[in-house]
Amino acid sequence: MIWLALFVIGLAIGSFLNVVALRYDGGETAPLFSPRAIGGRSHCPHCGTTLRWFELVPLASWIVQRGRCRTCRAKIGWRYPLAELLAGLIAVLVPLRVATAVAAGAPGMAALVGISLFWIVIFEALFLMALIDIRLGIIPDGLNLSLAVIGIFFAIYLGGTIGLANPSLLGPYAGMFGLQANLWLNRLVGALFAGVLFGLLIAGTRGKGMGMGDLKLAIPLGFLLGWPDILFAVAAAFVIGAVAGIVAILAGKRTMKGALPFGPFLAIGVATVFFFGYQFVRWYFRI
Ligand SMILES: [Zn+2]
């Protein structure tokens, strides 16, 4: 029942974030999350009919209506059910991962719930960031600032519940990279590493490879993940981004000049370290 409830809450969050991402105009008329930017009843973008409550049930409405508007029969894009499903999966898979990762340290049920909630908020925020970066090619400053504030509260919470040692997602393997004794020092180094790396990338490519939005996102991510988790997240983002870029060029969807937005790949990089980082380093050091 708890997992089902989490999934349904996640679906509703996804439905909301999808609307926020679609209505956000880059902050020109109103900032992100303000009623002026996201207010108003939902309507069909094709015929303009205001949607009734039963047409707004996440995932279910789309399936029941077979992906079409009930009034004008216009197709409703895959984007809607897909965004809802992804956000729903975040709400279920994140606590599952936290439970298996932290179980060894056995910090107690309350801490597991608390840590899970932090990570759910972080991943839903990254999901919203990715949706906006894909659509507009920008990352709102408000989101980056929110991630930084969440990171500081997360560090305070971790220090109070599981102690000052850095809880790296890579488990005992993080010790090889040093700086694991104090999570505050660890996270400051993570933020500094991300800031210097992306600063150098922007300077080296004269802003053509990376944008300032990527730098402003990477710094709070460095603080949230700490050292060396941020190193692995950025490496995963570059590898997956490069593969996606090559596939896009081969498929004729992009030219060498037209850059893919990098924000979504940073989010995928964080997810890769969060879900598979420990398994990856364990496999690597075994061979
Ligand atoms: Zn319609």
What is the domain count for the chain? Answer: 2
Query: Would you say residue 75 lies in a domain?
Result: yes
Judged by average pLDDT, the poorest of 6-15, 85-94, 98-107, 172-181 is: 98-107
Residues 87 and 195 in one domain: no
Q: Is residue 132 part of a domain?
A: no
Same domain, 171 and 102: no
Q: Among 24-28, 100-104, 271-275, where is mean pLDDT lowest?
A: 100-104
* pLDDT(263) > 60: yes
In a domain, 154, yes or no: yes
User: What range does the domain containing 157 cover?
Assistant: 139-287
Please indicate, yes or no, if residue 106 is contained in any of the structural domains. Answer: yes
Cα(31) to centroid(ligand 1), Å: 28
CA of 56 to the centre of ligand 1 (A): 13
User: What integer is the mean pLDDT of 118-140?
Assistant: 94
Name the token pair of 97: 């991962």
- The whole-number pLDDT of residue 37 equals 65
Q: At residue 283, what is the residue type? A: W
Residues whose CB falls within 8 Å of the CB of residue 57, separated by 6 or more in sequence, listed in order: none
Whether the per-residue pLDDT at 157 is higher than 60: the answer is yes
Question: Hey, what amino acid is at 207?
Answer: G
How far, in Å, is the centroid of ligand 1 from the Cα of 83?
A: 20
Statement to judge: residues 6 and 73 lie in one domain: yes
Question: 52 CA to middle of ligand 1, Å?
Answer: 12
Does residue 141 register a pLDDT over 80? yes
Say if residues 187 and 151 touch (Cβ distance below 8 Å).
yes
Do 270 and 221 form a contact (C-beta atoms < 8 A)? yes
Q: How far apart are the CA of 45 and the centre of ligand 1, in A? A: 7
Measured in angstroms, how far is the CA atom of residue 252 from the centroid of ligand 1? 32
Question: How far apart are the CA of 68 and the centre of ligand 1, in A?
Answer: 8
d(CA 164, CA 61): 47
Question: Is 126 inside any structural domain?
Answer: no
Mean pLDDT of 58-75: 88
What band does 221 get if pLDDT is binned at 50, 70 and 90? very high
96 shares a domain with 60: yes
Does 157 share its domain with 103?
no
Does 108 lie in the same domain as 27?
Answer: yes
Across residues 38-59, what is the average pLDDT? 82
**Quick one: 146 and 227 in the same domain?**
yes
**What does the pLDDT read at residue 55?**
84
Residue 133 inside a domain? The answer is no
Do 41 and 174 sit in the same domain of this protein? no
User: How much distance in Å is there from the Cα of 228 to the middle of ligand 1?
Assistant: 49
- Angle at alpha carbon of residue 167, lines to 163 and 173, rounded to 5°: 135
State the distance between the two ends of the chain, measured CA to CA, in whole angstroms: 41
Number of alpha carbons in the 13 Å side-chain half-sphere of residue 105: 19
CA distances 163 to 97, 104, 157, 160, 223, Å, are: 20, 15, 9, 6, 17
Is the pLDDT reported for residue 105 higher than 60?
no
Q: Are residues 73 and 174 in the same domain?
A: no
Q: How far is the CA of 66 from the centre of ligand 1 (A)?
A: 13
Mean of the per-residue pLDDT values of the chain: 88
Evaluate the CA torsion angle 117, 119, 120, 122 in order and state its sign: positive
pLDDT at 3 over 80: yes
Percent of the chain scored above 70 by pLDDT? Answer: 93
Q: Report the separation in Å between the CA atom of 61 and the middle of ligand 1, taken as the mean of its atom positions.
A: 14
State which of 90, 121, 152 marks the end of a domain: 121
Model pLDDT, residue 78: 86
Provide, rounded to the nearest whole percent, the portion of the chain with pLDDT above 90: 47
Assess whether pLDDT exceeds 90 at residue 50.
no
Residues 144 and 286 in one domain: yes
* Cα 47 to averaged position of ligand 1 atoms, centre (Å): 4
d(CA 81, CA 62): 7
Q: Which residues surround ligand 1, an ion (CB under 5 A)?
A: 44, 46-47, 69, 71-72, 74
pLDDT at 42: 82
- Shared domain for 145 and 174, answered yes or no, is yes
Q: Are residues 24 and 108 in the same domain?
A: yes
Judged by average pLDDT, the poorest of 48-62, 155-169, 218-232, 244-258 is 244-258
Q: What pLDDT does 41 receive?
A: 79
Residue 40: pLDDT above 90?
Answer: no
Q: Is residue 208 part of a domain?
A: yes
